[in-house]
Amino acid sequence: MFAALAVVLPIFALILAGAACRRAGIFGATATTELNRFVVWLGLPSLMFHITANAGWQELYRPGFTAVFGISCFTMFGLALLVAVRQRGLADGAVEGLIAGYPNTGYLGFPLALAVLGPASSTGVTIASILTACVMFGVAIVLLEIGIQEERRLGPLLFKVSLSLLKNPLVVSPVLGVLWAATGIPLPHSADSALLLLGGAASPCALVALGTFLADKRPPAPGQRPTELFLAMAKLLLQPGIAYVLAHFVFNLPKFEADLAVLMAALPTGTGPFMLAEYYGRDAAITAKVILATTLCSVITITIFLTLSGYGGLPG
């Protein structure tokens, strides 16, 4: 339990710092929006470009692990999307799909996997990060763009959506990273360092922005509490459950890869859905509450999984 708690505590510290600064008046009413703009336009695009530009694609060829983790993520994404789309539309459905299927692989995945499984886990966590931060994020953005367009004629709709995607840094940056990796040219040291600095600030700033958002109390909308409960249970229970069944009974992964895939699926919801909800002007209250709740509850659920998997004796 202490291993999971040690990784999760800094997340709560950053959320609390953002909330405290907002309550004290240090941050103004636009702090959430401005911090989120930094993440969307500079921090996260830098991180995505850096990951894809430096990825050793031959080393990342782990079809079994990729399938287990990817299917578990997109199953939850699709389920939550279908549940939400009839009541709240495609745009909100895309955000809720992301809430249910988007593990915090970057900020939590790397340190937790390193503490539990050691350095050999880094390749699998990198695969999980690419699938969530690039692939799933991209799918959600496409659905969001389609959902917010008033145009319904197919030709003009496709043109408007394509134009919006070409202007979106969260879509363009990983594509450019893949193209750079294809050249085989290493990134210049100065550029690599700048990308690391900007990318490293993405998650902390998003967490502080989450805190500033939560500091402004809002009455819950009708049906919000049941939706939050459903999304939290889908993320913390259904997704790792699906990953476990796939890893052990469908793809028969070796124990190390199976445990890593389930651990990544068991991670709480990352800040990505909150950033997209805020950026696209959707109601971010459900997103913020689920991120907070799943992060808190994941200390218990992850500890149970680690104990049952034979890692309960790890030092603190």
In a domain, 314, yes or no: no
Question: How far is the C-alpha of 272 from the C-alpha of 168, rounded, in Å?
Answer: 15
In a domain, 315, yes or no: no
- pTM summary value: 0.87
CB atoms closer than 10 angstroms to residue 254: 11
Three-state SS across 40-103? HHHHHHHHHHHHHHCCCCCCCCCHHHHHHHHHHHHHHHHHHHHHHHHHHHHHHHHHHHHHHHCE
What is the CATH number for 49? 1.20.1530.20
Provide the residue range defining the domain that includes 251: 2-217+227-308
Question: How far is the C-alpha of 35 from the C-alpha of 212, rounded, in Å?
Answer: 10
Cβ-contact 106, 28 below 8 angstroms: no
**Which one is predicted more confidently, 97 or 2?**
97
| pLDDT tens by residue, 10-69 | 888 999 999 999 999 999 989 999 999 999 999 999 998 998 898 878 888 999 999 999
| pLDDT tens by residue, 272-289 | 899 999 989 888 899 999
In a domain, 74, yes or no: yes
Partners of 103 in the beta sheet? 269
| pLDDT tens by residue, 194-216 | 999 999 998 899 999 999 999 98
In a domain, 294, yes or no: yes
Question: How far is the C-alpha of 95 from the C-alpha of 189, rounded, in Å?
Answer: 36
**Domain count of the fold of the chain:** 1
Question: How far is the C-alpha of 247 from the C-alpha of 99, rounded, in Å?
Answer: 23
3 state SS of 183? helix
3 state SS of 269? strand
Inter-axis angle of helices 202-215 and 2-23, to 10 degrees? 60
